[in-house]
Amino acid sequence: MRFIRDILQEATEAGRPVISCEFFPAKTPQGEQSLVEKIVPRLKAVNPAFFSVTYGAGGSTREKTLGIVDAIQKQHEVPTMAHLTCVGSTRNDIGAVLDEAKQRGIDNILALRGDPPSGEAFTKPEGGFEYSHELVEHIHTRNEFSIGVAGFPEGHIACTEGREVDWDRLKAKVDSGADFVITQLFFDNADFYAFRDYLRERGMNQPIVAGIIPILSARQIQRFTELCGSKLTREITARLDELGDDDEAVSTFGIEYATRQCADLIENGVEGLHFYTLNKSRATLAVAENLGFIQ
């Protein structure tokens, strides 16, 4: 399958942003089947440049992640990226995952430090990596994969020194061999533009793909944002207070907000929009349709 760095370069040269969609490994075989046979085919309507599949805490979904990426690529012929984290893995473990990925025709890896199971602090595994830039270097030396990394327009939640320190570390990790950045979900585009300007002014020219989540439920988004440290705007908080537990109305608002957010990003030259789909298709399809990506 194609390298995502080439797909992004082509799109950037053509001046049109790409759409990508992220999934997580379903817990049950039925869930997995539904993802690969129903949700993914529906989302092909957005003409995705690539899909991606997350990697669970402690490497717990390793087999599942690679298996789902493989199945999506074989059945749907869309380049699909495997996320890979440092949690609980030695260099040898990581090497084995990369060997298997290569063997299965998986050419794109999102290199992450990862989060340990909830409530625990990250600790460097013995014989493993402490930060994602070390994982990037390790993958880069193999010269076999296109590598993406995570970026945080509001700064990473654990970076107490301020967002610019975190952005400097992102630049360092890209300099270690990453080809593109995918951001954490955010709602205020001003944060994204400040982040992008800061990196561009410092010579980081690799594509930055914006992470977008259409809000589906008030309680769910409050939980997610608490976990990842992204903030909800005043407008969003006020609307969610009004709509309460009416998930249908919240989802309609979420689609409308994400459409406005994406339209502004496109107008301001974003290179890609990465949808956190939560293994659902309706909201992503609606936003893509509103933006004219579905013919």
Ligand X SMILES: Cc1cc2nc3c(=O)[nH]c(=O)nc-3n(C[C@H](O)[C@H](O)[C@H](O)COP(=O)(O)OP(=O)(O)OC[C@H]3O[C@@H](n4cnc5c(N)ncnc54)[C@H](O)[C@@H]3O)c2cc1C
278 forms part of the interface with ligand X (CB under 6 A): no
In the complex, what is the shortest distance from the CB of residue 30 to ligand X, in angstroms, rounded to a whole number?
A: 22
Contact with ligand X (CB under 6 A) among 59, 114, 125, 153: 114
User: Which of 22, 32, 154, 271 does the annotation list as catalytic?
Assistant: 22
Q: Which stretch binds ligand X (CB under 6 A): 72-80, 131-139, 230-238, 277-285?
A: 131-139
158 forms part of the interface with ligand X (CB under 6 A): yes
Token couple for 238 = 């006020």
Residue 28 per-residue DSSP state: S
Of residues 149 and 243, the one with the C-beta less far from ligand X: 149
Helical H segments across the chain, by residue range: 4-14, 29-34, 40-43, 62-76, 91-103, 132-142, 163-175, 189-201, 218-228, 234-243, 247-267, 282-290
Whether 22 is catalytic is yes
In the complex, what is the shortest distance from the CB of residue 181 to ligand X, in angstroms, rounded to a whole number?
A: 9
Residue 1 per-residue DSSP state: -
154 forms part of the interface with ligand X (CB under 6 A): no
Instruction: Determine how many CB atoms are found less than 10 A away from the CB of residue 123.
Output: 11
Distances (CA, A) of 234 to 28, 187, 220, 229, 247: 38, 10, 17, 15, 19
Token couple for 274 = 């990465």
Q: Which stretch binds ligand X (CB under 6 A): 37-45, 52-60, 212-220, 234-242?
A: 52-60
Cβ(281)–Cβ(28) below 8 Å: no
182 forms part of the interface with ligand X (CB under 6 A): yes
Of residues 143 and 160, the one with the C-beta less far from ligand X: 160
**Catalytic residue numbers, as ranges:** 22
Residues of this chain that interact with ligand X (CB under 6 A) are: 54-55, 57, 83, 85, 110, 112-115, 131-133, 150, 156, 158-159, 166, 169, 173, 182, 184, 211
